[in-house]
Amino acid sequence: MTAPDALNDQQLQVARSTILKGGVIAYPTEAVWGLGCDPWNLEAVTRILELKNRPAEKGLILVAASVEQIRFLLDPLPEQLQKEALGYWPGPVTCLLPDVNKQIPEWVRGSHSSIAVRVSEHSVVKALCEAAGMPLVSTSCNPAGLEPARDASQVSRYFDGHLDQIVPGALGGNQKPSRIIDIVSGKQLR
């Protein structure tokens, strides 16, 4: 379900600038608040891992505004795997895609040969990815072991003064974070 509100031009420009300068943002997603950044910026990704106290080897999810933003990951895959992934998007399903050509940095992939990707239909997520011109890191907005943030005040309690921007907006209608499907094995991992 798409959030009913949209970001204004100024909010989008601030978010875009923050992301492109290596900043870390918090933003609403389909079910919980997320932390995001430019996935090709090692310092930004490292900050997220440190904020969450998350081991780098676990890897992170990428979220995109459209299939076209992650086409470079789909094109090297066999047609059947592409069709499998495309059947889930846009929507609240994260697919594990083989990163055949190692196009995503290891600091995002973690110790895996695949990359977790979601093409979102949430209006704020889509607007952020479109404004940045790239898919973004998307990981739940919480320190390890705590419940993911469900509102901006909880984001502030968790990370007060340690984020570059808290992007306004409402959560989508989902009660649980996205399902994770391995498109090669067909197994649901979450």
- Could you please report the per-residue DSSP string of 74-114? HTTS-HHHHHHHHTT-SSSEEEEEE-TT--S-HHHHTT-SE
Residue 187 lies in a domain: no
The whole-model pTM stands at 0.93
Residue 3 lies in a domain: no
Domain tally for the chain? 1
Q: Which domain holds residue 117?
A: 9-182
| Mean pLDDT across 69-73 | 96
Range with lowest mean pLDDT among 10-24, 92-106, 149-163, 174-188: 174-188
For residue 2, what pLDDT is reported?
Answer: 39
Residue 1 lies in a domain: no
Residues 119 and 65 sit within 8 Å (Cβ to Cβ): yes
The whole-chain average pLDDT of the chain stands at 93
Selection from 132, 133, 110, 130 nearest residue 61 by Cα? 110
Residue 4 lies in a domain: no
As a whole-number percent, the residues of the chain with pLDDT over 90 amount to 86
Report the Cα–Cα distance between both ends of the chain, in Å, rounded.
19
Q: pLDDT tens digits, residue range 132-148? A: 999 999 999 999 999 99
The domain that contains 64 carries what CATH number?
A: 3.90.870.10
Tokens of 51: 């904020």
Tokens of 17: 């600038």
Instruction: Report whether pLDDT(3) > 70.
Output: no
